[in-house]
Structure 1
Amino acid sequence: MPPSISPQAPLYSAVPPSFKKLRLAILETDPELVTVCGTFADLFKRLFTNGTTEAEERAEKVTLDIVTFDVVKGFYPEPDDFDGILLTGSRANAFDNDPWILQLMQYIIRVHASSSARLVGICFGHQVIARALGGIVEENSEGWEVSVTKLPLDAAGQGAELFPEAGAEGELRLQQMHRDHVVVPPPGMHVFASSERSPVQGLYEKGKVLTLQGHPEFNEDVARSLVERQILGGKISEAEGKDALNRVSVKNHGGDVGKAIVRFLNGMV
């Protein structure tokens, strides 16, 4: 059965005169997860409110028209109605074969093959895009990767092109909250960042795909609450939890990644 079109109204759609409007569909892959600062869609709205400023400074004035779709319930956008399609994080496993995950993979393949819409994936979104396009996703035998983590950028300099703010430092620092990870990237996809625990932290295909394992949308309050939840649930040890809580407030590049995503949607990278 073909995906349904969501009747939901735009989440963020104030368009001042003379601004270029970019249309972004957020595919919520865990809509029932509500953090201390709201849903994933709420967090991305806040992130992109700041991210549009960079596009204004470097090129034309930009605003985002955001619409959310609950893909767990089978609601999808028509790809050509949007400039970009962003897949959120989720408590689900990207390597599972639940019907909604298989349907999502077919949608990703369709968008990648025949639409001008650009794909953006974060955490689960990063993993399921990688799987759909031919990569391999597995549970990490070394355990969870949580809190602010250093991600060295690739030596070829692609990371510096995508993230000029972080390129001078040679690394991204992002909040993490995952155990599953991409172990083999899709054919032809550029890996621009890695970590000690997860070798594929970011994927890029010019004009088509930008994904990250980390969470640029998490602020300190969200990250801290999720780490504490992991400790209480026994998913990470007290020692790992203490270390993670010590790093949760470390300055990171979440805002810079938000700006990079806007530049990507705007065709600037």
Structure 2
Amino acid sequence: MEMSASISLESRLSNATSPSCKRLRLAILETDPELVTVCGTFADLFKQLFTNSTTEAEERAEKVVLDIATFNVVKGSYPEPDDFDGILVTGSRATAFDNDPWILKLVEYIKRVHDSSSARLVGICFGHQVIARALGGVVEENSAGWEISVTKLRLDDGGQGAKLFPEAGAEGELRLQQLHRDHVAMPPPGMHVFATSERSPVQGLYEEGKVLTLQGHPEFNEAVARSSVEVQIVSGNLSEAEGKDALARVAIQNHGADVGKAVVRFLTGVV
């Protein structure tokens, strides 16, 4: 285990006078711990996201406290699933369908958590992809190319997406920072796809009480997103026109903070 921290996320109904307290234990599995963005590691970004996000516990009146511990799974550090309420798998520069020993070990761990534990799984970008792989989905390189910067997602019409993300409003759309070339081409059997985009048919996966994943990066602020786009431009992964378009979209207001709220709602069992 690398580190731990407690984050208080107060969620009070308007008519509540003395909210109870619910303590949630969240394990963050770092799948690219050596990557340090302009605002810190992936784990740092998620801690900031949850610090900035509050959740409306719609049928409860309580103060939610997240106890967060991080684990370097690349080096083989894993939590005991039953010690945590939720397990979040971060993004990574690695390829989710590769067969590196640490990725294969992660796939087997995800299967065990899903099948034999009450801990809820959350996956972001690489985490979304590797969870899909572990549970029987298909992950591959996207022939349509990179999906990068703020991108519009379509939620399923009147379905689970609207319940997960009421902040999306009547238009039924989410906007999230993206940074990926690989994608989930086919979801795991029985898993609900609640969001799609023009380039990626599987932007979000949901299984009640078990799994919530997203291809986008709710934890990316503008500085991190802009730096990431610039890295891809310098690396030659984006053409001049693609880079210009991505930079033009990087500051568009998006639903990253709302996804932070949704993750906490999921962990508390509200959705």
Place the TM-score, normalised by the shorter chain, in its bin: over 0.9
- 2:249 is aligned to 247
Aligned counterpart, 1:81 = 83
* 2:264 matches 1:262: yes
Residue 231 of structure 2 corresponds to: 229
Give yes or no for contact 1:9–1:67 (8 Å, CA) kept in 2. yes
Q: 1:15 to 1:179 in 2, by over 3 A?
A: closer
Q: After TM superposition, give the deviation of residue 18 of structure 1 in Å.
A: 4.8
Aligned to 2:201: 199
**Higher strand proportion (structure 1 or 2):** 2
Alignment partner, residue 23 of structure 2: 21
What is the match of residue 221 of structure 2? 219
Aligned residues: 263
Do the aligned partners of residues 250 and 109 (structure 1) sit closer, same or farther apart at CA in structure 2, a change above 3 Å counting?
same
Q: Which residue of 2 aligns with 1:163?
A: 165
Residues 57/47 of structure 1: CA separation in 2 closer, same or farther (3 Å cut): farther
Conserved? CA contact 2:20–2:61, under 8 Å: no
Q: How many angstroms apart in 2 are the aligned matches of 1:121 and 1:14?
A: 22
Q: 2:186 matched to which residue of 1?
A: 184
- Distance in 2, matches of 1:36 and 1:196, equals 29
**1:63 offset after TM fit, Å?**
1.2
Distance 1:18 1:142 in 2: 49
Code of the residue aligned with 1:84 in structure 2: it is G
Q: Is the 8 A contact 2:9 2:50 kept in 1?
A: no
- Aligned residue runs from structure 1 range 101-180, under 5 A: 101-180=103-182
5 Å-filtered alignment, 1:87-102, equals 87-102=89-104
The answer for unaligned runs of 5 or more in structure 1 is 1-5
Q: Is 1:10 aligned with 2:12? A: no
The residue type paired with residue 89 of structure 1 is G
Report the RMSD for the aligned CA atoms in angstroms. 1.7
1:68 and 1:224 mapped to 2: Cα distance? 26
Change (3 A) 1:206 1:57: closer
Q: Which amino acid aligns with 1:264?
A: F
Structure 1 residue matching 2:43: 3-state secondary structure:
helix
CA deviation string 1:84-126 (max 9, x = no partner)? 0000000000000000000000000000001000000000000
Check whether the contact 1:52–1:63 (CA below 8 A) recurs between aligned residues.
no
Match of 1:3 in 2: none
Alpha-carbon distance between aligned partners in 1 of 2:33 and 2:173, rounded to the nearest angstrom:
31
SS at match of 2:56: helix
- When structure 1 is superposed on structure 2, of 16-25 and 165-174 the one drifting more is 16-25
Evaluate the alpha carbon distance shift between residue 70 and residue 144 of structure 1 in structure 2; reply closer, same or farther with a 3 A threshold.
same
State the SS of the aligned residue for 1:149: strand
Cα distance in structure 1, aligned partners of 2:47 and 2:201: 29
- Report Cα offsets for 1:13-66 as digits up to 9, x if no partner: 569995211000000000000000000011000111122343499532101100
Deviates more, 1:57-66 or 1:232-241: 57-66
Q: Percent identity?
A: 80
